[in-house]
Amino acid sequence: MALNETHDPQLSSWVAAANGAGTDFTLQNLPLGVFRCAGSSEAFRGGVAIGDQILDLAAALQAGVFDAREVGAAAAGAAMAAAQPALNELMAAGPAAWTALRLALSRALRSGAPQQAALQSCLLPQAQAQFALPARIGDYTDFYTSIYHATAVGKLFRPDNPLLPNYKWMPIAYHGRCSSIAISGQQFKRPSGQILAAGAATPVLAPSQRLDYELELGLFIGPGNALGTPIAIESAESNVFGLCLLNDWSARDLQAWEYQPLGPFLGKNFATTISPWIVTLEALEPYRVAWTRPAADPQPLSYLDSPELRRTGAIDIQLECLLQSAAMRRSGQVPCRLSRSSFRHAYWTIAQMVAHHTVNGCNLRPGDVLGTGTQSGPQAAEAGSLLELSVGGKQPLTLPDGETRRFLEDDDAVIMRGWCERAGAARVGFGELEGRVLKHAG
């Protein structure tokens, strides 16, 4: 994919808030989500974030802005798919449809666009919206693409053998559960499960005492593949609609006792939170960086390697995780940052995840979600989980108000943010993801 007129950093929007220096939702971003008026019983429908507003695509269609005679058949068809209560049909339509819609939106939302008069009444302030999952998610797989996370966690679980030999040869993953994926704002009760205390001979059933978050990105699958037909690395990215933020909540005590030999189960499947807006790969194009593999490490097998991957396979997406305790909320303190990192540090890329997932013929379908795994950077302070930041609970973190945390406490809110920024390109942001732990039910 190449840069085109929609990436031009000089473009401004007639939606004034889209032109502010710090906004996530510039005219060059145009992420898609599903929303309705908060507190209403309206049908959910697709929308595009622009500044602090949402462009209601169903209303824009009614206003005739995406008439095929005006924008062409591809953009008109894509706009109809994007106005639905779930974006699966748009995801299935593929990159040509996504690109046509992006161009039509960019032109209609530009300063001086003749569509402004018709679209003005199709805006809803984001602050007045309620969001839904952007797609019917049929399957969810969570990868483990940060070697820094894998090594740090491996050291805690297996001090003598932190990184297992398969790690550098393939993108490791487990099959997650989609029934407990929810949109930002998710609140869930502290899960119970079997816990084997240190030195104990028998486990007990108890609420998790080592509840954690994982700072991740989620990928929404586009057209996907037929069962039995792998996706080659060269076409892997044309099967990815876009990215969102993802929190893979994890109960470390449940996980430690159950994970061998078949991997995570009840330690992970009680809740997963995603952010409402999906940022397309096309919007992220200015933030591509070269993907490299250290010369001393095994080079990938050929089905996981390509010249294009080496040239532009990684994406520099800044990620941060923040916490706001109940006490901080009561005293009006803003969330405090726990860590910050970038997706550019991932050992395996988006294209490699897709190619590996399907190499055995496994089929991916429109709306499936792939998690990237916890994105921890090379420095200890760049870790994407409390397990790492507190060194397995041994070194508590001190919050600005003097509270300490080894793991999450009841009523803690975890907030995640992501954005891309560099000179010569418009900022492209993911907005925010928030989720909260409630007291155990028992």
Q: Which stretch binds Mn ion (CB under 5 A): 9-17, 84-92, 244-252, 341-349?
A: 244-252
Q: Interface with Mn ion includes 214 (CB under 5 A)?
A: yes
CA gap 258, 4 in Å, rounded: 49
Examine residue 212 and tell whether it contacts Mn ion (CB under 5 A): no
Smallest gap from residue 62 Cβ to Mn ion (A)? 41
| Choice between 99 and 269, CB closer to Mn ion | 269
Count of residues of this chain found to bind Mn ion when the rule CB under 5 A is applied: 3
Q: Which amino acid is at 385?
A: S
Interface with Mn ion, residue 388, by CB under 5 A: no
Count CB-CB contacts under 10 A for residue 331: 9
Residue 413's contacts (CB-CB under 8 Å, 6 or more residues apart) are: 323, 324, 325, 329, 335, 434, 435, 436
* Residue 306 backbone dihedrals phi, psi, to 5 degrees: -165, 155
- Contact between 89 and Mn ion per CB under 5 A: no
Taking the least distance from each CB to Mn ion, the nearer of 110 and 417 is: 417
Q: Which of 142, 237, 368, 434 binds Mn ion (CB under 5 A)?
A: 142
Residue placing its CB nearer to Mn ion in the complex, 76 or 370: 370
> From the list 24, 212, 248, 320, which residue makes contact with Mn ion (rule: CB under 5 A)?
248
Known catalytic membership, residue 149: yes
Residue, CB closest to Mn ion: 248
For residue 299, the minimal CB distance to Mn ion (Å) is: 26
Identity of the residue numbered 395: Q
- Nearest CB to Mn ion, comparing residues 89 and 214: 214
Q: In this chain, which stretch among 35-43, 82-90, 241-249, 292-300 interacts with Mn ion, using CB under 5 A?
A: 241-249
Question: Which of 219, 275, 216 minimizes the C-alpha distance to 430?
Answer: 275
Q: How far apart are CA 218 and CA 209, in angstroms?
A: 27
Q: Considering the rule CB under 5 A, would residue 237 count as an interface residue with Mn ion?
A: no
**By the 8 A CB rule, do 211 and 190 touch?**
yes
Give the C-alpha separation, 114 to 349, whole Å. Answer: 41
Which of residues 146 and 238 has its CB atom nearest to Mn ion in the complex?
146
To Mn ion, the closest distance from the beta carbon of 250 in angstroms equals 7
- Render 148-170 in DSSP notation, one character per residue: HHHHHHHHHH-TT--S-TTTTTS
Burial of residue 25 (CB within 10 Å: 0-12, 13-18, 19+) is buried
Nearer to Mn ion, 84 or 374 (CB): 374
Closest distance between Mn ion and the C-beta of residue 214, in Å? Answer: 4
Catalytic site positions: 149
**Residue numbers of the site for Mn ion (CB under 5 A)?**
142, 214, 248
